[in-house]
Structure 1
Amino acid sequence: MSALLGHDPDYLRRLGAADTAREIAQQPAVWRQIGRMTAESCAATAAFLKPLFDRPDLRVVLTGAGTSAYVGEVLAPSLRRRLGRRVDAVATTDIVADPLACFAEDVPTLLVSFARSGDSPESVTAPELASQVLTECWHLVVTCNEQGRLASRHADGSALRVLLPEAANDRGFAMTSSFTGMVLAGLLTLGGPDEALVERLATAAEQVLATGPGAAADLAARGYSRIVYLGSGTLHGVARESALKVLELTAGHAVALAESALGFRHGPKSVVNEQTLVVSYESNDPYTSQYDRDMVAELLRLVPERNLVTVTAQAGQPASGNVWGLPGIADVDDAALALPAVICAQLIGLHFSLALGRTPDNPFPGGEVNRVVQGAIMHPLPPTPARASG
C-alpha cells in the first residue's frame, strides 16, 4: 500500500487521521477536475453572468460561514480587480444576524453562496433573507454537496449552481479540499476558466505535498503552544483560514492567531514569545510583498530564526528550513497562490494535531463542535418598510 503524506495509511487510520490526510493529498487531482468542469460549462456560465455583469450598478456579495466565509475573503480582492466592480465578502453569520445592515443599499446584487455541505442553518437562511430585503437579487451557489439544502433549494433553474466533484465534500472534520476547491471554482466561474493556470497550481501543490509533511512534522515536534499566521491583502484571508485549521484540528489545544503584516504591529504582536511559531505568507504582488518582508525582518530581531517560516512563491525550491517555496507560480495572482500556500497550513495543522495526541478526522468526539453546525435558531425577519433603491 502506497504511503499517504509520508505515512502508512493503516497507521493514519489507527490515529484517526486517514480522511484528513487523504483529503489534503487529493487536492491537485480535485483541482484538475474543477478546471475541466468549469471549462466545459463556460458557455452556460457566461449566459447567466453576462447580463448581470453588463449592469454597472451590480454588487457582488461572496458569502459563507467559517471556512466558507474565508473563501470569499480570499476571492474578493482579486475579483474586484478582474471585474472592475464592487465585490464584497460578507459572512452568512453576519447576514443572518443583521440583514438590513449587510444590504443597506438596495442595489442589484449577485449573492454567491459557498458551502461544503449546504446544510448549516445560515447557509440556507442567508440567501432567503437577501431575496427578502433586496428588490433585485440573483443567486450563484458553489457547493460540494448536491444533496444539501442549499443546492436543493436552488435547483429550479433560477440560480446558477456550481457543484464540485464528490471528492471535494470532505469527510474529515476540517475543510481542506473543499476550501481550495471552492476558491478555485469561484475564481474560474467568476473570472473565467484557465486550465493552464490550474495545471501550474496543481504541479506546485504536488511539490509541496512531497516535501511539506516532513517539514510540518519537524515543526510539530518542537512543542509550540501558539501559532501566528500573517498575510497581506488577499493572503489575509488565507491566514485566517490557516489559523482556523490549527484550532479545529488540535481541538483548541494550540492557540492560533491571524493578522495582516501591517496590522500585527498594532497590538497583536503581543502574543509572540519563545513558544510561538510565526508563519508569514509572502504576496506575489511586488508592492504588497514589501510589507510582508519588512515584518519578517522585524520578527527576526525578536524571535529565534527557527520560530519563523516564510511561505513564498519567490523561492525556487519547495519546503526547506525556514522557507517553504511554491515553485513555478511566482507570477500568479494571490487568489491563485492561496491554493498551494494553504496546503502548508493544512499539513501543519494535521501534524500538530497528531503530536498533541488528537484525532484529526474527529477532534471533538464529544460533539462540542460539529462538522455541520448545529444549534443555531433562525429567527424570522419582521416585515420592513419599503426602501428607496440605491
Structure 2
Amino acid sequence: MKTAVPETADRQQVPQGATHTHREIRQQPRLWAEMTTRLSEQRDWLDAFLGPVLAEPRLRIVLTGAGTSAYAGQVARSALARATGRTVEAVATTDITADPTSCFAERDRPTLLVSFARSGNSPESLAATQIADQLLDRCAHLVITCNADGSLATRHQNRADSYVLLTPPESEDQGFAMTSSLTCMLLAALRALGGTHIRGLDACPEAATSLLAGGTPDRVAELTDRAPERFVYLGSGALAALAGESALKLLELTGGAVTALSDSSLGFRHGPKAFLTQRTAVVVYISNDPYTRRYDLDIFHEMSAALPAGHVVAVAARPDGLPAEHTWLIEGMADAEDTALALPAVLCAQLVALNASLACGVRPDNPFPDGEVNRVVQGVTIHPLPQH
C-alpha cells in the first residue's frame, strides 16, 4: 500500500537560480514512498530475474557508477553484502573503463553488475557494461536509472540477461547536481537486493519529512552563515562513503568556490587533518553501531576542541554522547542500519551545499554557466578494449 508523504512546506521564497535544486531536495520523501510502491508492484518479475542470479554461491556483485552514482554503490555495499550473503564490491565505472582487466580478473566468476545512472548517457556507464560482457563468461545486469530513454536503459531493456529498474520520472534531477536521483537509486538497490533485511528503510520518508519541516534547515543556515572557507565531512563505514558524496555536492553546487574534503573518522588524523584552519567547518556523521559510534564521537569531540564554537556539528539519529546545540538529530532512525540512515542524512549535506552556493553568489541549478563542468560528462573518449 502506498504511504502518503506530504511535500514539505517551503520555509522561504525560492531563491533565483535554485528552482530545480530547491524542489528536488524537498521532493525526496515523497519519491521514496513512490519508489517503494513501484518495487512492490514489480516484485514478482524482479525476483524471477534475481532469484537464479543470487542463488549462485560464487556470485560477485559489482555496484558501479560515476561520481555521485559511484558513491551510491559505496554506501550500499556493506549492507547488501550482509543481506545477500554474497561478495559485494563497489567499483566506479571510471575504474572499470580505465583498468578493466584488474576489475574483472576472474573471467569464469558469475557476476551481477549493478549500474547506477541518472541519465544513462555517460560514456563510462555504457562502456562498463560492454566491458563486463566482453571480459566475463557470465554477467547479468541490473540497471538502475532515472531515464527510461537513456542509452543504458534502451540498450538493456530487451535483453534476457538484464533488468532495467526505473526510478520515478521526477527523480531525474533537472538541477546540475544529483540529489533525488541519488537517493531514489540507492533506495531502489537496497530494496531490490536487500529486501526486508535492511533495518530502517521503512522509516526513511517520515524521518526526512520531519528533518525538512523541523529546525534542521535553520541550523544548516546558521552554519553556512559563518562563511567557512573549507568544509570537512567525516564518517565511518557506509557513512564514510556518505561523507565523500557530501564533499562532492558542496564542490559542485558552489562551483568549487568552497573547498571540501572527506575522510573516515579514523583516517582523518593520518595526514588529512592538515587541511584544518580556523575557518573550517566539520560535519561528522555518527554511526548507529555501538562500537563504530565510539570512533565517530572521539573525532567529533576532538574537532570541537580544536575549532571555534559552532564550527563542528554532528549528524546523528541518537543524541547520547552529543551536545544538543551542535547536533542535527534525525528522528525515527535510532535503530536503523547506517546505510538506511544515510538516506535522510544526505539531505543535510544537500542543504549545506545549496545554502553555501547561494552565499557565494552561485546559481546552484547551473553552477558552471560556461560549461567547464557538465551535467552529463563530456570530452571522454572510450578506447577499444584489446582482444584477450
Short-chain TM bin: over 0.9
User: Which residue of 1 is the match for residue 99 of structure 2?
Assistant: 98
Q: Report if the CA contact (8 A) 2:199-2:335 is conserved.
A: no
Q: Report if the CA contact (8 A) 2:281-2:312 is conserved.
A: yes
Give the letter for the 1:68 counterpart: S
Listed one character per residue, the Cα deviations across residues 175-215 of structure 1 (whole Å, up to 9, x for unaligned) are 00001111100100001158995441111101111222211
Show structure 2 runs of 5+ residues with no match: 1-6
Q: Distance in 1 between matches of 2:8 and 2:62?
A: 41
Answer yes or no: is 1:36 the counterpart of 2:37: yes
Q: Report if the CA contact (8 A) 1:16-1:359 is conserved.
A: yes
Answer yes or no: is 1:6 the counterpart of 2:6: no
Show structure 1 runs of 5+ residues with no match: 385-390
CA shift at 1:304, angstroms? 2.1
TM-score under structure 1 length normalisation: 0.94
- From 123, 127, 130, the equivalent of 2:129 is 127
Cα gap change, 1:29 to 1:196, in 2 (>3 Å): farther
CA shift at 1:100, angstroms? 0.3
Listed one character per residue, the Cα deviations across residues 145-194 of structure 1 (whole Å, up to 9, x for unaligned) are 00000000001142111100001000000000001111100100001158
Q: CA RMSD in A?
A: 1.7
Cα gap change, 1:306 to 1:199, in 2 (>3 Å): same
- From 331, 350, 353, the equivalent of 2:354 is 350
Q: Distance in 2 between matches of 1:323 and 1:233?
A: 20
User: Which residue of 2 is the match for residue 142 of structure 1?
Assistant: 144
User: Which residue of 2 is the match for residue 367 of structure 1?
Assistant: 371
Cα gap change, 1:179 to 1:248, in 2 (>3 Å): same
User: Which residue of 1 is the match for residue 206 of structure 2?
Assistant: 203
Q: Distance in 1 between matches of 2:251 and 2:217?
A: 19
SS in 1 for 2:40: helix
SS in 2 for 1:304: coil
Q: Distance in 2 between matches of 1:297 and 1:16?
A: 37
Q: Distance in 2 between matches of 1:165 and 1:50?
A: 24
Answer yes or no: is 1:16 the counterpart of 2:7: no
CA shift at 1:298, angstroms? 1.6
Q: Report if the CA contact (8 A) 2:199-2:337 is conserved.
A: no
Answer yes or no: is 1:172 the counterpart of 2:152: no
- From 334, 342, 345, the equivalent of 1:338 is 342
Give the letter for the 1:171 counterpart: Q
Q: Report if the CA contact (8 A) 1:5-1:213 is conserved.
A: no
SS in 2 for 1:78: helix
Q: Distance in 2 between matches of 1:257 and 1:38?
A: 35
Q: Distance in 2 between matches of 1:372 and 1:153?
A: 18
CA shift at 1:315, angstroms? 2.7
- From 302, 309, 315, the equivalent of 1:305 is 309
Cα gap change, 1:45 to 1:284, in 2 (>3 Å): same
Q: Report if the CA contact (8 A) 1:5-1:21 is conserved.
A: no
Which is worse superposed, 187-196 or 89-98? 187-196
SS in 2 for 1:70: helix
User: Which residue of 1 is the match for residue 3 of structure 2?
Assistant: none
Q: Distance in 2 between matches of 1:329 and 1:3?
A: 19
CA shift at 1:299, angstroms? 1.5
Give the letter for the 2:193 counterpart: L
How many aligned positions are there?
377
- Ranges of 4+ aligned residues in structure 1 off by more than 2 Å: 2-5, 193-199
Q: Distance in 1 between matches of 2:294 and 2:28?
A: 30
Give the letter for the 2:268 counterpart: F
Give the letter for the 2:84 counterpart: L
Q: Report if the CA contact (8 A) 1:63-1:114 is conserved.
A: yes
Q: Report if the CA contact (8 A) 1:35-1:193 is conserved.
A: no
Q: Report if the CA contact (8 A) 2:8-2:212 is conserved.
A: no
Q: Report if the CA contact (8 A) 2:190-2:198 is conserved.
A: no
Q: Report if the CA contact (8 A) 1:42-1:193 is conserved.
A: no
CA shift at 1:217, angstroms? 1.6
Listed one character per residue, the Cα deviations across residues 120-145 of structure 1 (whole Å, up to 9, x for unaligned) are 10011100000100111110000000
